[in-house]
């Protein structure tokens, strides 16, 4: 028997506008570009909603209604959900309709789609808790499965997620970790006891996400019938085929005229023609299947680029300097208790900012260029660095304001204390002393006059 697990990542960052050094100290709005460029967040969200989210949601709702066995899973970044609430409530409602079917699972991740686990466990926990609360508020569910930003994963993270109560965690089926093993089984980190690791079958996932419209690909054109045959071949040699991909695959990365929607419309029916196939959500897969062995990832892996590591975000000096400077501000930012400062600092943690600074020019260079809204990685770094300068300026201003307010409160308390102070009544002994002094003074005066 082979189960199929569809999981879609849905995310849009708050892109930084063209923020100049002259803006530091004057303009504290970093994400409000209104130009025709691809750093206009509202414009991008409406474009992707029109091309992908709305038509894909409509299609998947049809498939859920048509095939009772059909199931899917999503994870939504918190910053994506925020933008839906602000710019496109109708898109949010369409996602809520899908979840209400009861056959759509929502996974947890970091609210700001960040790399926080690498730099601050405390901040990581804060963001996961924020995300869990947002999912509960908007969808009425509490996630049981965790998916870290860009499938960044290692043994330590698996153990940490287990401690937070998750039943399963997603990871990339990286060949250099798997070796001879297959990604079509469930595994467990060597330091974990209960949490199970579900691995992406990157070959089959990328056939849809990346190669679908490539006419130079030997398997083009890809049909639902052909893909279903590849899945059928797993029967007897695997528990579950995990098809993990960006949701923007449908209509945005693979345009409608490539036939991607028609392919997806036909796929569930083709998959279900095989009597041993069924569809599961990640939590159902974790509940149904035992872990067959260990997936031992000492170093961090991810689903990005051919290296499947952190190099998409942390491979050059610009990226490392930017993210290091950002997390160095953590204590001061949180101590400020200024909601706008904390919010902006949090949005600056989104991994996309560092992805835009990547300078890979070889195998993955075209992919990075496609996703980069800036003309060059250096433009992305300059804008980000200028924003950090302004954030420091605001933190210092908040400190001074806090110190000034503290002094004023101290002065006010002092004045209030003086006003409330009751006149001290003289004691009996003091009164006797005063009387005695008066008598002595009178006696001396009489003697002088005599």
Catalytic option among 150, 162, 172, 248:
150
CA distance 195 to 267: 30
Residue closest to 53 by CA, chosen among 6, 14, 106, 8: 8
Question: Torsions phi, psi of 317, nearest 5?
Answer: -65, -35
Any catalytic annotation for residue 150? Answer: yes
Question: 330: exposed, middle or buried (C-beta count within 10 Å: 0-12, 13-18, 19+)?
Answer: middle
Residue closest to 161 by CA, chosen among 198, 136, 134, 133: 198
DSSP structure string for 189-226:
-TT-SS-EEEEE-HHHHHHHHTSTT-TTSTTPSP-HHH
3-state class (DSSP) for residue 149: helix
How many of the other CB atoms lie within 10 Å of CB of 74? 20
- Where do the H-state alpha helices sit in 19-108? 41-48, 54-66, 78-87, 89-100
Token pair 């400020």 is found at: 336
CA distance 40 to 389: 22
DSSP 242: E
Angle at 368 between CA 366 and CA 372, to 5 degrees: 120
Residues tagged active-site = 150
């Amino acid at each position: 028997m082979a189960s199929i697990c569809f999981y879609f990542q849905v995310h849009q960052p708050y892109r930084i506008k063209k923020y100049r050094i002259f803006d530091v100290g004057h303009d504290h709005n970093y994400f409000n570009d209104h130009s025709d460029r691809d750093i206009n967040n509202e414009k991008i969200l409406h474009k992707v909603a029109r091309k992908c989210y709305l038509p894909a949601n409509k299609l998947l709702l049809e498939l859920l209604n048509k095939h009772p066995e059909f199931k899917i899973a999503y994870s939504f970044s918190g910053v994506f959900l925020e933008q839906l609430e602000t710019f496109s409530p109708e898109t949010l409602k369409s996602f809520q309709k899908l979840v209400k079917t009861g056959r759509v699972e929502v996974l947890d991740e970091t609210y700001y789609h960040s790399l926080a686990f690498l730099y601050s466990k405390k901040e990581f926990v804060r963001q996961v808790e924020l995300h869990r609360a947002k999912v509960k508020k908007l969808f009425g569910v509490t996630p049981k499965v965790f998916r870290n930003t860009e499938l960044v994963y290692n043994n330590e993270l698996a153990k940490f997620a287990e401690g937070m109560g998750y039943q399963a965690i997603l990871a990339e089926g990286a060949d250099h970790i798997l070796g001879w093993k297959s990604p079509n089984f469930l595994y467990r980190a060597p330091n974990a006891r209960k949490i199970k690791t579900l691995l992406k079958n990157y070959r089959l996932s990328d056939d849809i996400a990346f190669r679908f419209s490539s006419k130079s690909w030997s398997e083009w054109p890809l049909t639902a019938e052909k893909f279903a045959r590849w899945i059928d071949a797993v029967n007897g040699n695997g528990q579950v085929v995990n098809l993990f991909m960006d949701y923007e695959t449908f209509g945005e990365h693979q345009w409608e005229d490539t036939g991607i929607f028609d392919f997806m419309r036909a796929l569930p029916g083709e998959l279900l023609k095989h009597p041993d196939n069924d569809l599961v959500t990640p939590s159902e897969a974790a509940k149904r299947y035992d872990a067959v062995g260990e997936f031992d990832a000492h170093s961090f892996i991810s689903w990005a680029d051919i290296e499947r590591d952190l190099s998409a975000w942390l491979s050059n000096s610009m990226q490392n300097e930017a993210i290091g400077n950002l997390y160095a501000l953590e204590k001061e930012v949180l101590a400020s208790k200024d909601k706008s400062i904390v919010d902006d600092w949090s949005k600056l943690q989104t991994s996309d900012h560092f992805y835009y600074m990547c300078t890979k020019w070889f195998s993955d260079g075209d992919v990075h260029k496609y996703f980069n809204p800036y003309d060059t990685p250096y433009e992305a770094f300059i804008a980000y660095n200028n924003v950090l300068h302004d954030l420091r300026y605001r933190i210092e201003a908040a400190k001074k304001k806090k110190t000034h307010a503290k002094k004023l409160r101290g002065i006010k308390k002092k004045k209030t204390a003086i006003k409330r102070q009751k006149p001290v009544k003289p004691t009996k002994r003091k009164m006797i002393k005063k009387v005695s002094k008066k008598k002595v003074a009178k006696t001396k005066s009489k003697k002088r006059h005599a």
